[in-house]
Structure 1
Amino acid sequence: MELKQLIYFIEVAEREHMSEAAQNLNVAQSALSRQISNLEGELGVELFERASRSLKLLPIGQTVLKEARDIMHQVDHLKKQVDDYKKPESGIVKVGFPTSLATTLLPHLVRTFNENYPTVQFHLRQGSYQFLVDAVKSRELNLAFMGPVITDDPAIKGDRLFYEKMLLLVPRHHRLAGKTSVKMAELQQENFILFPKGYILEKLVIDACRREGFDPHVSTEGEDMDAVKGMVAAGIGVTLLPDSAITQHESSFLTCIPVSDPHVGRSVGMITPTTRQLTPSEQLFYDYVLSQFDEARY
């Protein structure tokens, strides 16, 4: 089995059309068809259901496609490791991050790191909590920031950097706006604006309320951090957000209040795979980040 066969197979499988795949690969359709037939012959199975003008993957073809993609990810990773090994201070670091860390933690770390290593390039990928976990497991990413940090997955290594509090965000003229702190129990009658079910920030708030014996009344949902803040400012409801997601604790429209009883918060850190090594450039950034939080981590 040759890598070229896998490359050709992936292209045909994704397009489900031999001529389109051949055109995109810049090869003759007959040559492409022969490589696919050779692959099927070597595997001893047909991978496609062949119609008059198109191809459709059979179930075994879906399995082979997943494995072929994994192999190509490994090949790309190998090439990147070799390139970074030659000159780690001029490599590329791919980093995943959630919206809640996009305006404070990540920009500071990338900027200060580049002051020391100006030739290292960054490819940043924003995503949800579950996306980041899946991306590290599937080799799409080797390093991602998140909160809370995973500590119970054998495929993931979690490094806690610091712990941060969740703050109550209310409209400027809300009944609680003048308080220096609030108890979770005081929020039982409030309308909440939360992220949709499945988002980690939604789960943190739901869990905090249930620990105090009530389910929050969720009046509105928002998938965007700024949208959630905007709806709070409009007086639609209140929310809890991590400190790092709030750039201003006081504004003309919003007030942030610490939650004192009980304290609600999350750990923030990095995740990396346990099944493979970081590239030298990624290791350089990883070690730098840990060094910035040595005291906070213990």
Structure 2
Amino acid sequence: MELRQLRYFVEVAEREHVSAAAEHLHIAQSAISRQIARLEEELGVMLFEKIGRNIQLTPIGRIFLIHSKTAIKAIEYAKYQIEEFLDPEHGMIKIGFPTSLSTYLLPTVISAFKDEQPNISFHLKQGSYSYLMEAVKNREIGLAFLGPIPTKDSDIESHILFTENVSALLPISHPLAERKTLRLSDLRNDPFVLFPKGYVLNTIAIEACKQAGFTPNIASEGEDMDSIKGLVSAGIGVSLLPDSTFYEFVPRMTVKIPIETPSVKRTVGIISPKNKELAPSEKVFYEFVKRFFSRLERYQ
């Protein structure tokens, strides 16, 4: 069994058409057919069955597809680790991040790291909280910034970089816009603008409101930080957002007001797979991030 046979098999399985797979791989259709036939002969099973002009996986073919993808991913990661070991200062780091950390934290950290390690490159992947957790576990990415940091996942190694407050964002025309601080219960009758259900910032906001004695009336939802802030600017409602999302500026036509009670906070940090060793360049970046925020904390 050869690696190219697995690659050909996966390509055909996902496209359900040999000629389409051949075109994508820039090889002859006969070459793919020949290699898949050899693979089926070695395994002693039929992986595909013909349906009209197309083909589809047999039941055993679907099982083999799962394991083939895992095998290819493991081999690619092994090659990546060898390349990293041979030349760690010219490696490539795959990092995930959520939208709430994309404006200030991510560019600040990477810019500072590039000053020290200009030859290490990055592949950045934005995603939801749950996606980033799974991507780290599956080695799709090596590291991910998250907020809040998971504390009870046995497959994740977590390191808290800092803890921040969550503040209220109000339209500038709001009756409470002149307040220096406010109780979250003061907003019980207001429409809220939040991330959709399933987003961790949605969970944080709803749990905070329940702690304050009410369930928020969600008038609108946005899937990114700019949308949330824009809707508040337009007077659609109020929102609860982490302070790090306001480092550069508070959006026009809005005011940010600290919440006096209850205390609403989130941890922010970096996660890695617990039982898998990081590549050399990933280790360099991981240790740099911890030092970077440790220095920031001392000076604050």
Q: Please report the RMSD computed on the Cα atoms of aligned residues, expressed in angstroms.
A: 1.7
Paired position in structure 2 for 1:183: 183
- Which secondary structure state, in structure 2, belongs to the residue aligned with residue 294 of structure 1? helix
Q: For the Cα contact (< 8 Å) 2:229–2:251, is it kept in 1?
A: no
CA displacement at 1:250 relative to structure 2: 4.3
Paired position in structure 2 for 1:206: 206
Paired position in structure 2 for 1:12: 12
Aligned residue pairs total 297
1:56 aligns with 2:56: yes
Structure 2 letter corresponding to 1:88: P
CA displacement at 1:140 relative to structure 2: 0.8
- Which secondary structure state, in structure 2, belongs to the residue aligned with residue 119 of structure 1? coil
Structure 1 letter corresponding to 2:155: A
Paired position in structure 1 for 2:288: 288
**2: distance between equivalents of 1:135 and 1:190?**
37
Paired position in structure 1 for 2:276: 276
- Which secondary structure state, in structure 2, belongs to the residue aligned with residue 236 of structure 1? coil
**2: distance between equivalents of 1:283 and 1:34?**
43
**2: distance between equivalents of 1:286 and 1:70?**
26
Q: What 5-or-longer segments of structure 1 have no aligned partner?
A: none
Structure 1 letter corresponding to 2:202: E
1:89 aligns with 2:89: yes
CA displacement at 1:248 relative to structure 2: 4.8
Paired position in structure 2 for 1:220: 220
**1: distance between equivalents of 2:238 and 2:270?**
29
CA displacement at 1:39 relative to structure 2: 2.1
Q: TM-score, normalised by structure 2?
A: 0.94
Paired position in structure 2 for 1:131: 131
- Which secondary structure state, in structure 2, belongs to the residue aligned with residue 293 of structure 1? helix
CA displacement at 1:272 relative to structure 2: 0.6
**2: distance between equivalents of 1:198 and 1:231?**
20
Q: For the Cα contact (< 8 Å) 2:192–2:219, is it kept in 1?
A: yes
**1: distance between equivalents of 2:14 and 2:250?**
50
1:135-150 aligned within 5 A = 135-150=135-150
Paired position in structure 2 for 1:262: 262
**1: distance between equivalents of 2:23 and 2:5?**
16
CA displacement at 1:251 relative to structure 2: 5.1
Superimposed CA distance per residue, residues 211-263 of structure 1 (whole angstroms, 9 cap, x where no aligned partner): 22211000111112111101101111000011111245545411000111111
Report the CA distance shift for 1:234/1:246 in structure 2 as closer, same or farther (over 3 A): same
**2: distance between equivalents of 1:180 and 1:59?**
64
Q: For the Cα contact (< 8 Å) 1:249–1:256, is it kept in 2?
A: no
Paired position in structure 2 for 1:65: 65
Report the CA distance shift for 1:176/1:10 in structure 2 as closer, same or farther (over 3 A): same
CA displacement at 1:275 relative to structure 2: 2.9
**1: distance between equivalents of 2:27 and 2:167?**
58
Structure 1 letter corresponding to 2:267: S
What is the percent sequence identity of the aligned residues? 47
Report the CA distance shift for 1:59/1:222 in structure 2 as closer, same or farther (over 3 A): farther
**1: distance between equivalents of 2:105 and 2:16?**
43
Q: What 5-or-longer segments of structure 2 have no aligned partner?
A: none
Q: For the Cα contact (< 8 Å) 1:249–1:255, is it kept in 2?
A: no
Superimposed CA distance per residue, residues 66-105 of structure 1 (whole angstroms, 9 cap, x where no aligned partner): 2212221211211111111111111111110011100111
